């Protein structure tokens, strides 16, 4: 029997040996193929352990991190395997900041068009491919109590690895709804009475001036390309953010924060009337 602290078999998301400097290789695989969620770092792992809907399969932790987990969370659903930091390093991309914690878990349950309550804002992402940006958006969405994030099965990063780390625990609070065609999903939401608001720099109306009613879905396009034509056609209104300064465009994660604030506040004002 091996004297290694855990089995030597590398999980199937492991980058090929010797390849370095690459972005998370698992992040660009179609979401419907994901059967293992990889979490690393304090906030992603700790929030997953606090989430009663998340099934944890395995935890690797350094002695200090395992002690901190026990002190802050109490009894854990699964006993961590105590390892050295370099054992976790070998499972992740170069320079990944894991803080002595790594976990493998089941993906969270996904909502559907029919199960969305419509009482909270829904966010849709139109081919935003950078897992760091999507992770930052997830964190913001959790802060604004977004009910779900809709992404496509292709041209979207998977809810694992780098994305989960960038979300800093937000992944446990905002479920992903994976669809094959965003236009079809928006059409179905429209049939259910959802107001569909697209955000684009060429929008015809300042987002602050858009009357917002629940149920509502806010649609964000990718940096550079913005919303695709069919996505635009499936929206009821295309709003824009008017910037008073010299820089007129924002990173998509920053735009998400500002636009979510506007939509959540707008929906609350309408509901209060």
Q: Which of 4-8, 206-210, 231-235, 264-268 is modeled with the greatest confidence? A: 231-235
Residue 33's pLDDT band, with cuts at 50, 70 and 90, is low
pLDDT in tens, 144-171: 999 999 999 988 999 999 999 999 999 9
For residue 230, which of 268, 270, 184, 262 has the smallest C-alpha distance?
Answer: 184
Mean pLDDT value across residues 16-31: 42
Q: What is the pLDDT of residue 80?
A: 96
Query: What is the b/e burial string over 138-175, where b = at least 16 CB atoms within 10 angstroms of the residue's CB?
Result: bbbbbebebbbbbbbbeebbbbbbbbbbbbbbbbbbbb
Residue 102's pLDDT band, with cuts at 50, 70 and 90, is very high
**pLDDT at position 206 over 50:** yes
Say what the pTM is: 0.84
Q: Any bridge partners for residue 217, and if so which?
A: 122, 196
**pLDDT at position 179 over 70:** yes
Q: Map out the domains of the chain with their CATH numbers.
A: 37-105 (no CATH), 113-271 (3.40.1280.10)
**pLDDT at position 29 over 60:** no
Residue 269's pLDDT band, with cuts at 50, 70 and 90, is confident
Distances (CA, A) of 110 to 27, 60, 98, 193, 273: 18, 26, 26, 21, 32
Beta strands at 37-40 and 81-82: parallel, antiparallel or unpaired = unpaired
pLDDT in tens, 80-101: 999 999 999 999 998 899 999 9
Q: What is the pLDDT of residue 22?
A: 43
Structure-model confidence comparison of residues 183 and 12, the more confident one = 183
**pLDDT at position 8 over 90:** no
Structure-model confidence comparison of residues 6 and 233, the more confident one = 233
């Amino acid at each position: 029997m091996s004297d290694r602290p855990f089995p030597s078999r590398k999980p199937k998301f492991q980058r090929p040996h010797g390849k370095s400097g690459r972005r998370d290789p698992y992040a660009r695989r179609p979401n419907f193929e994901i059967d293992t969620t990889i979490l690393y770092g304090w906030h992603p792992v700790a929030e997953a352990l606090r989430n009663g809907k998340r099934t944890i399969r395995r935890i690797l932790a350094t002695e200090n991190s395992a002690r901190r987990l026990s002190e802050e969370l109490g009894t854990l659903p699964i006993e961590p395997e105590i390892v050295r930091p370099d054992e976790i390093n070998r499972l992740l991309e170069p320079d990944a900041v894991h803080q002595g914690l790594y976990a493998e878990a089941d993906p969270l349950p996904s909502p559907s068009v029919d199960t969305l309550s419509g009482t909270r804002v829904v966010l849709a992402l139109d081919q935003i491919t950078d897992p760091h940006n999507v992770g930052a958006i997830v964190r913001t969405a959790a802060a604004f109590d977004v009910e779900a994030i809709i992404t496509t099965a292709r041209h979207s990063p998977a809810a694992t690895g780098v994305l989960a780390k960038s979300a800093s625990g937000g992944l446990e609070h905002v479920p992903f709804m994976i669809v094959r065609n965003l236009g079809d999903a928006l059409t179905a939401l429209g049939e259910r009475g959802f107001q569909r608001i697209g955000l684009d720099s060429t929008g015809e109306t300042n987002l602050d001036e858009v009357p917002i009613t629940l149920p509502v879905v806010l649609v964000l396009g990718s940096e550079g390309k913005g919303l695709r034509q069919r996505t635009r056609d499936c929206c009821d209104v295309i709003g824009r953010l008017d910037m008073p300064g010299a820089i007129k465009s924002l990173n998509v994660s920053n735009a998400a924060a500002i636009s979510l604030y506007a939509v959540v506040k707008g929906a609350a004002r309408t509901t209060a009337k």
